[in-house]
Structures are given as C-alpha cells and as structure tokens.
Amino acid sequence: MNVILNGETKTIKTDSSILDLIQLMDLGDARIAVELNLEIVPRSEHAATILKTGDTLEVVHAIGGG
C-alpha cells in the first residue's frame, strides 16, 4: 500500500504500524516526532497505530540546540 512520507510516496506492507515504518527507516532509537494526518502520535502509540492507504506522515528528528 502507499502512504505519503515527508511529501513523497512510500510503498509499505499492508497492516504496517508507525513503529514498523520507523524501523524500516532505521530510526528505531532516534529522537523523532511523528505526525499522522496532521496529528502528533505519541511514542507510546507507535506500535498500536496501524497505517492505511493514503495516510500522510511527517517524521522529523528532534535536534537540540542552545
């Protein structure tokens, strides 16, 4: 199935979760924020949130600064 990831079409397996997508992107331990269809998804919900065809996701790295 296809989702939109950071503005680009990405083909993933049906019934993939946000966590599956994060692992596919090799971001397992990274400090990231995930937005699904314009709503932030808490890290605690990544494994339980199943993606659907046409979902739009933004995945961004948290960068510290000062």
Query: Domain residues for 55?
Result: 2-61
Q: Map the chain to HEC letters.
A: CEEEECCEEEECCCCCEHHHHHHHCCCCCCCEEEEECCEECCHHHCCCCECCCCCEEEEEECCCCC
How much is the pLDDT for 66? 59
- For 39, phi then psi, to 5°, come to -125, 135
The structure's pTM equals 0.89
Q: Give the CATH number for residue 55.
A: 3.10.20.30
Question: Confidence band (pLDDT; 50, 70, 90) for 65?
Answer: low
Q: Work out how many domains the chain is built from and give that number.
A: 1
In this model, does residue 57 exceed pLDDT 70? yes
Residue with more model confidence, 32 or 64: 32
Q: Is there a domain that residue 16 lies in?
A: yes
Q: Write out pLDDT tens, residues 20-56.
A: 999 999 987 889 999 999 999 999 999 999 999 999 9
